[in-house]
Amino acid sequence: MKTATRHRLLYWYLLLFGGVVFSAFFAAAMPKAWMIATAEFFEIDSFPDHRLTWYLARHLSVVYGMLGVAVLELARDLPRYRALVLKLGWGIVVLGGLQWWVDLATGMPAIWTYGEAISTAAGGAVIVYLARDSEEPPADVDY
């Protein structure tokens, strides 16, 4: 695959990835009833109605939303940030592995574990693949 094509795909993939992760901001404001319904849908133990539980759920959504902001910003200047994007991709692959471990350690349902950990690691692997080339991206790529 030509370098210009790979970087164009990386640009669009980062916009998609960043947009999806950015949407976690909406989960931070999600009504409690929706969070409880989601837990019930995945057959997870009932969602405890404690301040710390709600804090952690909403705080995690804000952290993911901020990751989305960072990814969208990196996509804006790939020639400048390609090396950082490559490291971010590897970090997301590792995050997928850590999610797998946490999900198994906490007894999350298999569908949750596979959906979360595998999609995260695969998303990072796509970033690594598209950002990996040794030469700098062409400055004149029309994204």
pLDDT in tens, 62-107: 999 999 999 999 999 998 999 999 999 999 999 999 999 999 999 9
Q: Whole-number mean pLDDT of the chain?
A: 90
Asked which of 13-22, 28-37, 69-78 is least confident by mean pLDDT, the reply is: 28-37
Residues contacting 63, CB < 8 A, separation 6+: 24
Query: Does 142 have pLDDT greater than 90?
Result: no
- pLDDT score, position 143: 60
Q: Per the structure block, which two tokens stand in for 88?
A: 């971010």
- pLDDT score, position 1: 72
Q: What is the DSSP string of 102-134?
A: HHHHHT--HHHHIIIIIHHHHHHHHHHHHH--S
Q: How many CB atoms lie within 10 A of CB 37?
A: 13
Give residue 81's identity as a one-letter amino acid code: Y
pLDDT band at 138 (very low <50, low <70, confident <90, very high): low
Dihedral angle of Cα 63, 26, 41, 96, to the nearest 10 degrees: -30
pLDDT band at 3 (very low <50, low <70, confident <90, very high): confident
- pLDDT score, position 46: 79
Who wins on pLDDT, 30 or 138?
Answer: 30
Q: What is the DSSP letter of 45?
A: P
Using DSSP, state whether 76 is helix, strand or coil: coil
- pLDDT score, position 47: 79
Q: Per the structure block, which two tokens stand in for 17?
A: 């990835």
